């Protein structure tokens, strides 16, 4: 179900460097900042101003073929909050989009997080279909979807 299963994993920083979006010194600076501050390398690169969120999405789409979904433009179904609890949605940066049969469609900012996908499959007893979206798109969608009624 996952587009990158079995493929040789390339790190995001390497993908961005190969795409010409960042230089080796920028990557090294971001890796150093990541050691000090933590967080995902993509978020660090955005925070340092080396790339935009959409650059990261496009790089992952080109490398692995994940379809892009701008969740901020998507009509979210509040019933989906029963599928994935808020704490898990926040922990993994994921938004439930739809369930059809035994397939759960989600949007996430880091579709390379196999652990998150495996946890979601175990929790929901469904196969997970992944769309990629931006970190800010996920944050906004989680806020909107899980707001207290």
Decide which of 64, 87, 107 is a domain's last residue. 64
To which residue do tokens 């207290």 refer?
Answer: 148
Residue 5 lies in a domain: no
Q: Which domain holds residue 49?
A: 12-64
Q: Which residue has the higher pLDDT, 142 or 9?
A: 142
Decide which of 48, 64, 80 is a domain's last residue. 64
pTM for the model: 0.79
The interaxial angle of helices 53-64 and 135-145, nearest 10 deg, is: 100
Q: Examine the domain organization and report whether 113 and 60 are in the same domain.
A: no
Q: Examine the domain organization and report whether 50 and 94 are in the same domain.
A: no
User: Domain tally for the chain?
Assistant: 2
Residue 131: which residues within 8 A CB-CB, separation 6 or more? 66, 67, 68, 69, 97, 105, 106, 107, 108, 111
Write the pLDDT tens digit of every residue in 15-26. 899 889 999 999
Lowest mean pLDDT among 50-54, 55-59, 84-88, 118-122: 55-59
């Amino acid at each position: 179900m996952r587009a990158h299963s079995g493929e040789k994993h390339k790190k995001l920083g390497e993908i961005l460097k190969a795409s010409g979006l960042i230089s080796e010194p920028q990557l090294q600076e971001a890796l150093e900042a990541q050691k000090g501050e933590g967080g995902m390398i993509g978020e660090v690169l955005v925070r340092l101003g080396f790339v935009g969120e959409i650059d990261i999405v496009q790089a992952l789409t080109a490398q692995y073929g994940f379809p892009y979904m701008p969740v901020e433009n998507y009509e979210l179904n509040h019933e989906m909050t029963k599928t994935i609890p808020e704490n898990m949605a926040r922990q993994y940066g994921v938004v439930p989009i739809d369930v059809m049969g035994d397939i759960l469609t989600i949007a996430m900012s880091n579709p390379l997080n196999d652990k998150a996908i495996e946890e979601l499959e175990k929790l929901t007893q469904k196969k997970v279909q992944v769309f990629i979206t931006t970190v800010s798109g996920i944050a906004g969608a989680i806020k909107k979807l899980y707001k207290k009624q």
